[in-house]
Amino acid sequence: MRFKRGSQSQVPIINLVPMLDVLMVVLTFFIIVSMTLTVEQGVEVQLPGKDQPSPSPDAEPPKVAIIKIDPQGQVQFDNQPSETAALTAQVKAFLKENPKGNVVLQPAEKLPYEQVVNLLGDLKKAGGDQVSLAIE
């Protein structure tokens, strides 16, 4: 059997440049969409810096109110049982009596993080920068 050699049997050429252009456009689209779908949530924390003056040794230390939450969600304000709804009012009253006082939220380790962040956000609205989270 004989095959003809000539211009009739050409090897097909596949141009990859348009296919790569389409692939890059689709990739760019997915990157932009994934960046817009992620919403960052967090709590603003102000870390101490070098330029903040240290308190004088003879000054009276500020009073601290500790809010404890156990794994069942029971709340204690200064070792007294309290309701979550009344907690912001208690924090406002404490800070009104002690303008330089601090409030520390001390959650249990097994408590869901979402619940801790929501409560911390509510307390921040009531007490501003005088409310903090205990990490140990």
Which domain CATH number covers 108? 3.30.420.270
Domain count, the chain: 1
β-pairing, 80-82 with 75-77?
antiparallel
Is residue 100 one of the residues assigned to a domain?
Answer: yes
Is residue 87 one of the residues assigned to a domain?
Answer: yes
Is residue 33 one of the residues assigned to a domain?
Answer: no
Dihedral sign for Cα 42, 80, 83, 124, please. Answer: negative
Task: Give the pLDDT score at 128.
Answer: 75
Task: Give the pLDDT score at 4.
Answer: 59
- pTM: predicted TM-score of the whole model, two decimal places: 0.55
Cα–Cα nearest to 126, from 93, 81, 79: 93
Residue 90: which domain range? 64-133
Task: Give the pLDDT score at 65.
Answer: 86
State the 10-residue block means of pLDDT for the chain, 136 residues long: 63 89 96 83 73 66 86 85 84 86 87 85 81 80
| Token duo for residue 14 | 């596949």
